[in-house]
Each structure stands twice: as C-alpha cells, then as structure tokens.
Amino acid sequence: MSAQRFNKGRILISLAVAAALVVLAVEMIRPRAPASLQRWPSPNGYIDFLKAGKSVVAMPLLANSPSAWKLEELRDLVSQNVEPLRLVHLGLSRECRVTTDFSTNAATYLGSHLPELASLKELCRVLTAEGRLAALEDRRGDAARSYLDAIRFGQESARGGLMIDKLVGLACEARAEDSLRGLINSLDAKQCREVIEGLELIRRRSESAENVLEQEKFYFRHVSGWRDRYVGFLMSRAMKPAQVNLVQKCRDQARKANVLLLDAAVHAYELEKGERPKSLGELVPSYLKAIPLDPTTGTKLDYPL
C-alpha cells in the first residue's frame, strides 16, 4: 500500500513539474511587447486626432493638388474646420501613440480602424489647405508652420502603429512636404531657419520602419485566440514583400525629407551670403547640425549645388 502511495506521489509530483515547465515554456515564447508599446502616454495626442477626425469637414470637390484650390474654397474649408484644427494642434503638443486594439482579431480591428485612417488623411488635407491659404494671403511664415505641422501630424498619427498606419502617415508627410517644397524659395532667411529647425526635429523623432515591423509582428502574435494567432502568423509570413516595400518607402521618404532640408539650408545661405555654397560642408554648423546622408544608400546625398 505504501509503495502504491509512493508511486502516486511521484506521478503527482511529475505532473506538477511538467505543468510548471509548460507554463515556463509558454512564458518564454510569449511575444514581448516592443519598447514603444510598453507604455501608453497620458494624455495621448492620438485621441485628440481621432476626435478631430470625427468632426472634420471634407470638401471632396476640391482638386487633389493644393495649387489648384481656389482662395474662397480654401477659406471656406478652413473656417469649417476650426475645431478639428484646434484638436490636431492640441494632439501635436502631446505625446502620441496609435491605440491599437489587441483584444479582437485582425479583421475586426481593421474594419473599425480603416474609417479612422480615412479621417486622418482628411485632417492632413485640411492642414495643407490651411498652409495654402496662408501662402495665398502672403502669410508665408504661417504657411511654412502649417506645412511643418502637417508633416509632424503624418509622423505622430502613425507612431506606435502597424504597417497600415505608417503607410498612411507617409502619404500625409509626402503631401505636406510637396507643399512646403514649393514654398521654400519664397521664404526669407529667418523663415528658412525655422523650417530647418522644424525639419531637423521631425527627422530626429522619426519612427524607423524596423520598429513598425516589430510592432506589426507583435500584434499578429498577440491577437486573441490560438486560431487567430496561427492565422496571424501565416499573414505575417505572406506579408514579407509588403514589409520590404515599407522599408524602401521609409527610406525614399527620408531621402526626400533630407533633400528638402538641404533646399531650405542652401536658400538661407544664399539669402544671407549673396551666393550659393560651394560645398555642403559650408552649411555646417551655421545652418545644419550635420550633413544628411542618403538613407537608401547610407552614403553622401547627391545634391547638386
């Protein structure tokens, strides 16, 4: 009898040890949240963006190109969006992080998130319209600030999000940068220096494609249910080409931003010195903290002088 009890005890101990090892193994393979997802900012500027998106007034009849917008249409659009613009600027004054929902499956989350992304694109459109209106009213400094805010909005509205958030953010940044690029040569030296300072800050705060992909990987491994996790794993594998494409898009966008930065620095130099610099090195440190490199090659940026 004692032998049987002893054997039962050994079996129970073995089962307990096995269960503990299983729990330990699960904990070891459980996906760890990237550093960017380990803390929620409070208050979160992204919430302000979502509130602004719910009340943004769009004008779908406007042409896609800001240069084609008429003055009265711009005034009307901006006047109808005073509150959304206030909320956007409030959000930009705060730390931002996309409120990704990890409690539902990917299809449910994206189904509710896509309309939010559409409203964010409209907000960027309004910001660039605000800048275009200021430019037409010969308020060029205000125009430059609106375009910089639109670039920052594209950056901050995607921070901590997934690939789809980053792609929408990049599109917003590109729209605003195109508008700012067309304004640079009409700015004075002081305004150019403000643009340089703003662009350098934006560049320093840029979220890398690698960080976005890490967040994407964590999301698809974290969605609820083993079945959803398996589907998420398959989806993440199938999205490899899209991931490569995102990395390239981020590099291309960074290169264009660096060229814009040099445009502003060269124009400021020319206004103050009366001639163009003979080399990019002459821009440091009076105009630039450092010469930006080409992110696509990691080498010196090919910039004609």
Cis omega (within 30 of 0) on the bond before 60? no
Token code pair at residue 223 = 């969605």
Give the pLDDT confidence score for residue 28 in this predicted structure: 41
Q: What is the pTM of this model?
A: 0.85
Instruction: Report if residue 54 sits inside a domain.
Output: yes
Instruction: Report if residue 265 sits inside a domain.
Output: yes
Domain count along the chain = 1
Distance of alpha carbon 298 from alpha carbon 257, whole angstroms: 15
Instruction: Report if residue 21 sits inside a domain.
Output: no
Distance of alpha carbon 302 from alpha carbon 305, whole angstroms: 10
Instruction: Report if residue 12 sits inside a domain.
Output: no
Contact 158, 205 (CB under 8 A): no
Instruction: Report if residue 164 sits inside a domain.
Output: yes
Give the pLDDT confidence score for residue 229 in this predicted structure: 54
CA dihedral 279, 281, 287, 288 (to 10 degrees): 130
Token code pair at residue 152 = 């920052």
Contact 157, 96 (CB under 8 A): yes
Q: Which amino acid is at 266?
A: V
Instruction: Report if residue 7 sits inside a domain.
Output: no
Domain that holds residue 118: 40-300
pLDDT tens, residue by residue, 82-140: 999 999 999 999 999 999 988 777 778 889 999 999 999 999 999 999 999 999 999 99
Contact 105, 63 (CB under 8 A): no
Q: Which residue has the higher pLDDT, 243 or 283?
A: 283
Strand partners, 293: 300
C-alpha distances out from residue 294 to 52, 141, 152, 193, Å: 35, 28, 21, 22
Distance of alpha carbon 50 from alpha carbon 43, whole angstroms: 13
Q: If you average pLDDT over residues 51-70, what whole number do you get?
A: 77
Give the range among 3-17, 161-175, 212-226, 267-281 with minimum mean pLDDT: 3-17
